[in-house]
């Protein structure tokens, strides 16, 4: 018997649904083995995880809290990935969006009517995210600089800059040395809708619908499709590739920037350590698992958020080692990612019996 791994020659509709499902079960089995090694009952753990994420209204709103930035950054990553522009800088774009919003709130408030501060913070935050994504886009279209490197490096720049601010010049003098800015005035807080879940969730849902429409039903979306699919054909048809990469990335950055704005004005209400817990990176997984579809991104973001929340809960409730939550999340994600390969590839098992005939 021999097993071969081959690219699917035709698109399989069944595979698109079955593969994620199958990989989810494999994830469960692998995780169960790991849990058994740590002498935790897998079933109890899974149920606890599920309950942790969805079991009660407060828990569910917590899941929504985590899902919101994943949705927004996921949408941003998706726009760039559609163009085969490998933007792994959502983390930095989110951070810069948070910084910019904080700047508006902390320093412009005295000069503005109160109702104007939040909208302006949102606007400036999105512009900052766009700017941060625009740099690698410009470098790519002008100088052909590889975007993977630039977007990644800019993440560190943004994160360290934020640290510099809340440890240094922006630190709350009354904060007992806690790394963070003073709390924002309450009229600048992003309204909450349930528990800690805030208006950002509504933004994400609406933007996903809008984005789906833009990508599938507008001239611009059409051009993005052609560029992502075959730049040579796009160029031949007079589609301006550089201009489209720029606009798409400005949009991608603005979406990630909005995620940052929502985090600082809706959750922490100050710029502080832990603005992002790697949302920008997880967003890549979200966009990929959603196969770059905006609507699917919403659903996947929700599931991954459930995994994050449920994992944290389990670790606390079951008394597992502190890093176990992360390990669980990784174990669950890994097969799902590997599985996404199988929508494009398949394994084929070849019986040996027939082979004998030809080896003679």
Partner 1 sequence: MIISICQPYALCAWPFANFCFRRETKKVTTPILDMKGITKRFPNVVANENVDVELYPGEVLALLGENGAGKSTLMNVLAGMYRADAGEIFIRGKRVEIDSPRDAMRLGIGMIHQNFMLVDTMTVAENIILGLPDLPFVPNMVDVNGRIRQLSERYNLQVDPDSRIWQLSVGEQQRVEILKLIYRGAEILILDEPTAVLTPQEAKELNGILQQMTREGKSAIFITHKMEEVIAFSDWVRVLNKGRLVTVKQTNRTNPQELARLMVGRDVLFRLEKKDHDLGDVALELTDVSANNDKGLPALQGISFRIHSGEILGVAGVAGNGQKQLVEILTGLRNVSGGKIRIFNEDKTNKSPLEIINSGVSHIPADRIARGVAGDMSVANNLAMKCYRKPPLVRKGFLHPARILDLARRMIDLFSIDTPTPQTHAKFLSGGNIQKTILAREIDACRGLLIAAYPARGLDVGATEFVRKQMIAQSEAGTAILLVSEDLEELVGVADNIAVLFEGKVMGILPSNKADTEKLGMMMAGVKLEETTA
Positions that interact with ligand ATP (CB under 6 A):
9-10
Residue 273's binding partner among partner 1, ligand ATP, none (Cβ under 5 to 8 angstroms by kind) is none
Task: Return the number of the residue (29 or 233) whose C-beta is nearest partner 1.
Answer: 233
Q: Which residue do the tokens 């977007």 mark?
A: 151
CB of 10 to ligand ATP, least distance (A): 4
- CB nearer to ligand ATP: pick between 9 and 217: 9
Place of tokens 């922006």: 170
Q: Which one of partner 1, ligand ATP, none interacts with residue 356, CB within 5 to 8 A by kind?
A: none
Q: What are phi and psi of 191, to 5 degrees?
A: -55, 140
Minimum gap (Å) between residue 350 Cβ and ligand ATP? 21
Partner touching 319 among ligand ATP, partner 1, none, CB below 5 to 8 Å by kind: none
Q: Give the list of residues 6+ apart from residue 51 with CB closer than 8 angstroms, or none.
A: 59, 310, 313
Q: Which residues, other chains included, contact 182 with Cβ-Cβ below 8 Å and sequence gap of 6+?
A: 106, 172, 173, 174, 175, 270
Q: Minimum distance between the CB of residue 185 and partner 1, rounded to whole angstroms?
A: 40
**Measured from the CB atom, is 11 or 322 closer to ligand ATP?**
11
332 CB neighbour count, 10 Å cutoff: 22
In angstroms, the CA 57 to CA 326 distance is 24
Task: Give least dist CB 222 to partner 1, A.
Answer: 5
Distance CA 65, CA 55 (A): 15
Q: Among residues 10 and 323, whose Cβ is nearest to partner 1? A: 10
Closest residue to bound ligand ATP by CB: 10
Nearer to ligand ATP, 8 or 84 (CB): 8
Name which of ligand ATP, partner 1, none residue 97 binds, using a CB cut-off of 5 to 8 Å depending on partner kind.
Answer: none
Nearer to ligand ATP, 10 or 323 (CB): 10
Nearest distance from C-beta of residue 221 to partner 1, angstroms: 8
**Which of ligand ATP, partner 1, none binds 239 (CB below 5-8 Å, type-dependent)?**
partner 1
Phi first, then psi, for residue 343 (nearest 5°) are -75, -25
- Nearest CB to partner 1, comparing residues 19 and 302: 19
Which DSSP symbol is given to 111? G
Which residues in this chain contact partner 1 in the complex, by CB under 8 A? Answer: 4, 6, 9-11, 217-222, 225-226, 229-230, 232-240, 348, 350, 354-355, 357-358, 360
Q: Which is nearer to ligand ATP, 9 or 351 (CB)?
A: 9
Instruction: Count Cβ neighbours within 10 Å for each residue of 88-122 and write b for 16 or more, e otherwise.
Output: bbbbbbbbbbbbbbbbbbbeebeeeeeeebbebbb
- The DSSP code for 211 is H
Write down the least CB distance from residue 129 to partner 1, Å.
Answer: 24
Whole-number Å distance between alpha carbons of 106 and 42: 48
The least distance separating partner 1 from the CB of residue 218, rounded to whole angstroms, comes to: 5
Q: Which does 183 bind (CB under 5 to 8 A by kind): partner 1, ligand ATP, none?
A: none
Tokens of 143: 């100088």
Whichever of 13 and 217 has its CB closer to ligand ATP, that residue is 13
Query: If contact means CB under 5 to 8 A according to the sort of partner, which of ligand ATP, partner 1, none does residue 233 touch?
Result: partner 1
Structure-token pair, residue 9: 């020659």
DSSP assignment of 53-84: IIISHHHHHHHHHHHHHHHHHHHHHHHHHHTT
Which entry of ligand ATP, partner 1, none binds 354, CB below 5 to 8 A by partner kind? partner 1
Q: What tokens appear for 2 in the block?
A: 């021999």
Cβ within 8 Å of residue 63, ≥6 positions away: 53, 54, 302, 305, 306, 309
């Amino acid at each position: 018997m021999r097993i071969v791994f081959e690219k699917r020659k035709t698109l399989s509709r069944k595979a698109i649904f079955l593969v994620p499902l199958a990989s989810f079960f494999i994830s469960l089995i692998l995780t169960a083995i790991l849990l058994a090694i740590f002498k935790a009952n897998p079933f109890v753990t899974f149920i606890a995880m599920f309950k942790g994420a969805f079991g009660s209204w407060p828990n569910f709103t917590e899941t929504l809290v985590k899902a919101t930035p994943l949705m927004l950054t996921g949408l941003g990553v998706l726009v760039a990935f559609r163009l085969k522009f490998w933007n792994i800088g959502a983390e930095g774009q989110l951070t810069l969006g948070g910084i910019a919003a904080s700047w508006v709130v902390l320093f412009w408030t005295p000069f503005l009517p109160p109702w104007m501060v939040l909208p302006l913070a949102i606007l400036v935050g999105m512009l900052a995210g766009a700017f941060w994504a625009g740099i690698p886009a410009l470098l790519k279209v002008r100088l052909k600089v590889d975007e993977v490197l630039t977007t990644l490096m800019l993440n560190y720049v943004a994160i360290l800059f934020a640290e510099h601010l809340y440890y240094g010049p922006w630190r709350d003098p009354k904060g007992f040395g806690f790394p963070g800015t003073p709390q924002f005035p309450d009229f600048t807080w992003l309204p909450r809708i349930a528990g800690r879940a805030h208006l950002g969730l509504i933004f994400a849902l609406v933007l996903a619908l809008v984005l789906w429409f833009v990508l599938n039903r507008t001239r611009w979306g059409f051009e993005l499709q052609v560029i992502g699919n075959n730049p040579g054909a796009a160029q031949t048809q007079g589609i301006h590739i550089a201009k489209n990469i720029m606009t798409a990335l400005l949009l991608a950055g603005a979406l990630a920037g909005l995620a940052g704005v929502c985090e600082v004005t809706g959750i922490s209400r100050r710029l502080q350590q832990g603005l992002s817990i790697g949302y920008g990176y997880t967003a890549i997984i979200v966009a990929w698992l959603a196969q770059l579809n905006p609507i699917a991104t919403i659903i996947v973001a929700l599931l991954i958020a459930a995994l994050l929340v449920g994992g944290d809960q389990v670790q606390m409730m079951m008394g597992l080692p502190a890093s176990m939550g992360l390990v669980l999340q990784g174990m669950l994600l890994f097969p799902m990612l590997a599985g996404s390969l199988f929508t494009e590839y398949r394994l084929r098992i070849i019986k040996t019996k027939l082979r004998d005939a030809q080896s003679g």
